[in-house]
A and B are shown apart, each in its own frame.
Chain A
Amino acid sequence: MSTSTTAYLIRGAKPLGEEPSDILIQDGLIVALGADAIAHASAATATLIEAAGQIALPGMVDLHTHLREPGREDAETVETGTRAAAMGGFTAVHAMANSNPVADTAGVVEQVWSLGKRSGWVDVRPVGAVTVGLAGKQLSEIGAMADSRAGVRVFSDDGICVHDPLIMRRALEYVKAFDGVVAQHAQEPRLTEGAQMNEGEVSAVLGLAGWPAVAEESIIARDVLLAEHVGSRLHICHVSTAGSVEIIRWAKSRGVNVTAEVTPHHLLLTDELVKSYDPVFKVNPPLRAESDVLALRAGLADGTIDIIGTDHAPHPSEAKECEWAAAAMGMTGLETALSVVQHAMIETGLISWADFARITSTTPAAIGRVSDQGRALAVGEPANITLVDADARWIVDPFAMATKGRNSPFKGLELPGKVRTVFFHGHPTVLDGALNTPRITEGA
């Protein structure tokens, strides 16, 4: 039975950081706002959520999550990954296709989709692989995945670049039939053979093989031209360089249908951290220079970059307890995303909480075609709401997280902003800053 028949009255929260307004939730929907909420017939029996001073946001939507299941359940499962997502303020995540087996058939995406349904912490939207086995040779069954119960709209070989220009052109053309989007992991493979970290002054000192910015930028430049040529939707994953921002800005000015994402870690961390040789800072694309970080922030603030994507990439400890070159690439991010973005973008005055809602909820839901997410906090809309204590500060402890991955690069850092409560279709998955219960739906 649905648990969302219960009504909740959120008192005193500030929608998008603006004037306080009570919010009444019933049967999974927002049924009243402001003075109407307390006057509503259900208000008297509703469970009270005291949220004075907290900020009410539309539930966050991640377009870039590695849930690792099936295949790498030692790193993460749909259950643990979606718990982490809920704790981080998310109500939907897109599960990347580089599982084992690869999500390149309707069968695999439906498996992930139903695991998500069963878990009940957030909506799990599987991403389908662009090519069979991420091998970059042959298109996967894009139509079958789009038409499956998983309703896939985002296609990506993430982890690997669709580097063959002809395959990329075909993919961009083909997804048009299904209102899909190709999410490109931009990394020219020949220019990044053996690459270990950003190529620059730090790599020169550390003697680690460099990962040049041009390896990312050249692919983005090619792909925006391809997207323009074939008139398709292109999404650029985890933009990491100042040059990439420039190219995307130029493409948008030409009217190319391109969107772009940036990760929280690329908004805060630089390659100076690699000097420790601690593989917790090893990630793809690599941490870049300070000037890149500033350009990414500016690009996000001016709308060149559309969204935050966490690229949450949990790894078992042995994948990081080794020398740098042998370590896996990737960082966890779901449970720190809100705090890092608040720290890097809001506390620096670059964006408002309304912008935050756009880049973490409205736009990612629109790109992923997730119709019941990323909606306004308005009467009649699905009650996907995240309440944040923006004044709280906390010290990141990877061992206190819900994800299985202990590979947080923010370990030990003091960050602002704590997720207090998350409503997922009217059900509180997070209460008082702790996991509550999943939302049980019929048929799951």
Chain B
Amino acid sequence: MSNEPENARALAPVSARIVLSSDDIDRVITRIAHEIIEANKGTADLVLLGIPSRGFPLAQRLAQRIAATDPTLDPSAIIGQLDVTMYRDDLRHSTTRTPVPTRLPATGIDGKVVVLVDDVLYSGRTIRAALDAIADLGRPRIVRLAVLVDRGHRELPIRADHVGKNLPTATTEKVRVHLSEVDGENNNEVIIEATA
């Protein structure tokens, strides 16, 4: 819900191309999972917080990959969902957003290594909101950011630690991420749509 300006939705796509296939997404997630373990020197204190709506299934997939390397780890015990609606800076200017639940792992986030997970990194405003939300929920030791796609055009000094694919785009283009957990069975791909 964060990867495009609201007003772009009204415009009809004139062309669309797939930039990540279902297999590509799988490979990218496996790679990021390994990067996270690498950076953390293991799985200790890891918490993956997905930003709704597509950051959460990505966090789930990452947790499964990470757990695959460590049989003692319960993937559901290290993931959570972080709703940033109330922290957005555009509440007055878009249609009213409905908040969704924030769910933290039972261990909380104090002293943890929190990896924020989102699908597309664009202006950086969603991540800014997420950092504020985290600050109200506890005090992690480290906060890192993992995204499936970084499409550029940052408006804030924010960068990702783990990037699935860097995707140079024009602001007139839209990046659509489809994940089967949200978008239905066998619907796993990243598409760029050019708009007139």
Direct contact of A and B (CB under 8 A): no
Give chain A's interface residues, CB within 8 Å of chain B. none
Give chain B's interface residues, CB within 8 Å of chain A. none
